[in-house]
Amino acid sequence: MTSRLALLAQADSLRASRRPFVLATVVRAQRPTSAKPGDCALVLPDGTIEGFVGGDCAESTVRLQGIRLLGTGESTLLRITPEAGPGERVEEGVVTVGNPCLSGGALEIFLEAQLPPVLVVVHGDAPVARALVSVGRALGYDVRTEADPLPEDANAVLVASHGRGEDTVLKAAAAAGIDYIGLIASHRRGTAVLDGLQLDADVVHTPAGFDIGARTPEEIAVSVYAEMIAARPREPGHAFDVEPAEAVDPVCGMNVALTADALRLTHDGRPYHFCGPGCHQAFADDPGRYVHA
């Protein structure tokens, strides 16, 4: 079993490499569950679980809920009870799942989505460029300067170089489909740059930033980030590109994430998926009991 310290070190490594994950921590456990408060695990986008938060069936529920949270970027308290129930009960900040496969007791597990911070690339070394770096980092963003080539997961490219090398950066950012591209320039010069590059104004924001009467480099940086924030997608469920495929365990009725290593059997040409070895074996022993139930 991976130790808590090793898991936390692995979490730090994942953050450093900008890989998303969910940190699952047991906060309450009723006997005779095998998990204890403080036990923890990491849930990766492919459904891999590192660590321990309970037996196979509890782990299956944590896997599914964790993958879902990677799609929203939210965190929640997961309650797993041994009583069978009609699906999930969702309240504000709490998801309750009845899992009849549990050996008894109940678990409460805090699931905390850990997504990479917004990645901003700033081009230039003028006062405004330096302010874009400092203000962006104060907002908690991952701000990098003069990145060449552009990182594949960059969210924004901000150009404040007074014309130095801006054409190459703007073309690369537009070709990469960066969510927000901002050029700090006067309206006249910005329009001339876009015309010369044959780029549309809806691709590159220039003059970048809201018109808030900004004067200092820091105020200009605030206006640019305000526009960038306003321009980002508002639809829920798109924090990270995860769309978990799911199936219902025919034995216990639990929802199961269809990961590469999910337990499955084929009966009469149809695949069935299971939350754990117990349900898998029960179905294998008597498929007709569950297929026609």
Which CATH number fits the domain that encloses residue 169? 3.40.50.720
Q: Is there a domain that residue 236 lies in?
A: no
Ordered mean pLDDT values, 10 residues apiece, the chain (293 residues): 85 94 95 88 94 88 93 92 74 86 82 95 95 97 89 94 92 95 96 94 93 96 97 59 74 83 87 87 88 67
What's the confidence (pLDDT) of residue 292?
A: 67
Nearest-5° Cα angle at 255, 253 to 261: 115
CB 24 within 8 A of CB 48: no
User: In the prediction, which pLDDT does 234 show?
Assistant: 55
Same domain, 227 and 156: yes
pTM for the model:
0.78
CB 148 within 8 A of CB 168: no
Same domain, 110 and 247: yes
Regarding whether 174 and 139 lie in a shared domain, the answer is yes
Could you list the residue range(s) of the whole structural domain that residue 159 is in?
A: 119-231
The pLDDT of residue 238 is 47
How many domains, the chain?
Answer: 2
| Spatial separation of the C-alpha atoms in residues 280 and 215, rounded to whole Å | 67
CA atoms within 13 A on the CB side of 168: 10
**pLDDT of the residue at 237:** 41
For residue 116, the model assigns a pLDDT of: 94
Q: Say yes or no: 97 and 155 in one domain.
A: no
